[in-house]
Structure 1
Amino acid sequence: MATYVARRLVWLPFLLLIVTFVTFALLRFGPGDPVQVWLGQHQNDEVRARLRAQLGLDDPLVVQYVRYIEGVVTRLDFGESFQFRGKSVAELLAKRIPVSLQLNLAAIIITLGVGIPVGLYAALRQGTGVDNVVVAIALMFQSLPVFITAPVLLLVFALHLDLLPTQGWDGFFSPKIVMPAVVMGVPGIAIVVRLVRASVLDVLGQDYIRTARAKGLSERIVRWRHILRNAMIPVVTSFGFTIAGLAGGTFIVEIYFGIPGVGFFTINSLFARDYPVLMAFAIVSTTLFVLANLIVDLTYPLLDPRIRLGAGNVT
């Protein structure tokens, strides 16, 4: 297993180089100029040229990229924010990454905590009215975008019932996290329900399930130890992609509910053409995505002892 983990981690720097170079080039050749955004209407050619030289934006693209990567690799220096002069990007992100991680964790708990038991329940009642209702509701929730569920929750739970606050952030255990987490977690619930249902139906037809019941094991043990455990492998496989989907939803949710996380900060930096912040976000998000998928792969042997992680692929 150690060889497998090391082999996966060796590829991380090469993946980061590809992602950072593409992001770096797109930002530099994209529309807009951070100097113009920064100076606004009060600017002239001399001031603009001096500021561009000070920021190193007049250097060739390759020179700028190499200088940036050198700072990241040797000093873990993501540069200084164009928008907030005098503040490092690492300092700005360090305050916001924990907020987004807590929000995503809450959404994942809702997604898995509701999706797994409901999917199992629907599969065990295949063909009944309950199964049809669960599938129909799952399809409906999966088709609801964030900009539909967020206003509905605000209207019902904040405006009419006055049960939950509308915006802000006070930590993981604050009521302010409830609506944003639900908005992010609901689409994932529908996906997990359908995935668990299909996987459980496939496992129910296996010989070892009939053998377990023939041995006299209680239905509770058969369901949780044999059926659900083996049915979770496809769910775990999709977990990495679920993280990617949550990252996209974080942008909208954090803006909508006024949460001071990475998504809200990144969108503001995009409009301000704050290149160092956007580059740091690309590096951090890519690293987290790779590590999350590695953790997913490492959970396979825990669910199915027949799976071995060797020097090559998962076997």
Structure 2
Amino acid sequence: MLAFALRRLFAALPTLFVLLTLAFFMMRAAPGGPFDSERSLPPQIEAALRSEYQLDAPLWRQYLNYVEAVLHGDLGPSFQYEGYRVSELIAAGLPVSLALGVCALLLALLVGGAIGVLAARRPGSVLDHLLMNLALLGVSVPNYVVAPLLILLFAIVLGCLPAGGWRHRDYADMVLPVVALALPQIAYIARLLRASLIDALAMPYLRTARAKGLPEHLLIFRHALRPALLPVISHLGPATAGLMTGSVVVEQIFGIPGLGRYFVQAALNRDYTLVLGVVLLYGALILAFNFVVDLLYGALDPRLRRT
């Protein structure tokens, strides 16, 4: 198992390096710069700023300097948030996004898993069609439609929940953003689990167990659910990273000071270092969660450890 884990870990490192390289050069290729504004700066001041942030160096030199800094754990200063390092901004926004992401993930697993099991127990029934049509709706409707509808219903019409904002330890502020983040994942998990559970229940040894009188709940939760979880776990790798780092749309709509809002503002302002820092963090989280998924795959199906 250790050799399997090390192979997966070492395979992820080149991917992270390629991601850093592509993000660096794509940001530099985009039109505009971090100090462009409606009112042009005097040439002396602009030259001084470019020198301060090493933007006057050749592109290859900027790249090497940035890679060296990252290897030493320094993501550089923010170009737009004066006096702040990128690591400080990420440290400020990441806990908020993590809180939303963890709650949304737990809600998606509980509700989506329950819907998937209910639908798989009676495939083709009225309940199955109803639940899967609702799941299809959840997959099809994007966050930027769902979030305003939730605000309209629960904040404006019913007046039972706040429309946005983020107050410390006020859990009511989390309800609507968490639901908006979780709804698409509920739909995906429900559909994936239903399909894989139906396939698992059709396996010969489970049909034999059912014929011998094994109760349905034991058949599902003791025998069928373990192999049926493999597609769901595979989906949860990138999905978890996306939830943990915050949804750009949801955080913008609800006015939440998470990592997603920093990313949007940094992209609009051409804040190179902040965009690269968030992209690097997001890529590292995707690789980390995919690594965890690989370990879970190896635990659930020992045959995969040899690949």
Deviation, structure 1 residue 158: 0.5
Q: Is the 1:103–1:172 Cα contact (8 Å) retained in structure 2?
A: no
What TM-score do the two structures reach when normalised by structure 2? 0.94
Would you say 1:51 and 2:49 are equivalent positions?
yes
Pair 1:161–1:252, CA change in 2 (3 A): same
1:142 to 129, 139, 149: 139
Equivalent residue letter for 1:309: R
Would you say 1:133 and 2:130 are equivalent positions?
yes
CA distance in 2, matches of 1:135, 1:216: 29
- Which residue of structure 2 aligns with residue 254 of structure 1? 251
Pair 1:168–1:158, CA change in 2 (3 A): same
CA distance in 2, matches of 1:86, 1:80: 8
Would you say 1:22 and 2:22 are equivalent positions?
yes
Equivalent residue letter for 2:25: A
| Counterparts of residues 86-165 of structure 1 (less than 5 Å) | 86-165=83-162
Q: Is the 1:266–1:277 Cα contact (8 Å) retained in structure 2?
A: yes
Query: Greater shift after overlay, 166-175 or 176-185?
Result: 166-175
- Which residue of structure 1 aligns with residue 223 of structure 2? 226
Question: Matched residues, percent identical?
Answer: 38
Pair 1:83–1:144, CA change in 2 (3 A): same
Deviation, structure 1 residue 172: 7.5
Structure 2, unaligned stretches of length 5 or more?
none
- Which residue of structure 1 aligns with residue 305 of structure 2? 309
Once the two structures are superposed, residues 193-248 of structure 1 have per-residue CA deviations (whole angstroms, 9 ceiling, x without a partner) of 11111111111111221233345433221121112222111111111242365479
Pair 1:171–1:110, CA change in 2 (3 A): farther
Deviation, structure 1 residue 156: 0.7
| Counterparts of residues 125-274 of structure 1 (less than 5 Å) | 125-170=122-167, 174-243=171-240, 246=243, 250-274=247-271
Q: Is the 2:161–2:172 Cα contact (8 Å) retained in structure 1?
A: yes
CA distance in 1, matches of 2:116, 2:13: 38
SS at match of 2:36: helix
Deviation, structure 1 residue 254: 0.5
- Which residue of structure 2 aligns with residue 277 of structure 1? 274
CA distance in 2, matches of 1:171, 1:240: 29
CA distance in 1, matches of 2:158, 2:290: 40
Deviation, structure 1 residue 46: 2.1
What TM-score do the two structures reach when normalised by structure 1? 0.91
Structure 1, unaligned stretches of length 5 or more?
none
- Which residue of structure 2 aligns with residue 11 of structure 1? 11
Number of residue pairs matched by the alignment:
307
Once the two structures are superposed, residues 266-295 of structure 1 have per-residue CA deviations (whole angstroms, 9 ceiling, x without a partner) of 111111111111111111111110010010
CA distance in 2, matches of 1:303, 1:169: 40
Once the two structures are superposed, residues 98-145 of structure 1 have per-residue CA deviations (whole angstroms, 9 ceiling, x without a partner) of 111221111111211111111111111112111111121111121111
Query: Greater shift after overlay, 212-221 or 137-146?
Result: 212-221
Pair 1:115–1:199, CA change in 2 (3 A): same
